[in-house]
Structure 1
Amino acid sequence: MKPAEAKTAVKAAVETGYRLIDTATVYANESAIGARIYNLTSFLFATHLHPNDTEGMLRISLRLLQMDYVDLYLAHVPTCFNHRITAPNHSVTVQDVWRGLEGVYKKGLTKAIGVSNFNGEQIERIMKTASVPIHNCQVELHLYWPQHELQEICKKHNISLTSYASLGSPGRVNFLLPTGSKMHWDPAPNALEDENVKTLAEKYSKTPAQILLRYVMSRNIAVIPKSVNASRIKENFQATDFELTPEDVKLLDSTKHRQRLFWLDFMKGHPEDSFAAERKK
Structure 2
Amino acid sequence: MTSARTFDSIVIIFNPNSTGDAPRLAERLCGKLKDVLSYPVDIRLQPTSHAGHAVELARDAVRGTGDVLVVSVSGDGGYNEVVNGVMQAGNPGAVCAVLAAGNANDHRRIIGTRPLEEAIAEGSVRTIDLLRVHAGQGPDSPAEYAHSYVGVGLTPVMAMDLEKGGKGALREKISVIRTFLKIKPFEIRHTDGKRRRLYSLVLANIPEMAKYVTLSDADDKLADGKFEVIIFPHVAKWRVLWATLRAATQGLGEQPSVSSYSFTTLKPLSYQIDGEVKSVDANIAVRVECAPAALSTLG
Mark yes or no: TM-score above 0.5. no
Higher relative contact order (CA 8 A, sep 6+): 2
**More strand, by proportion:** 2
**More helix, by proportion:** 1
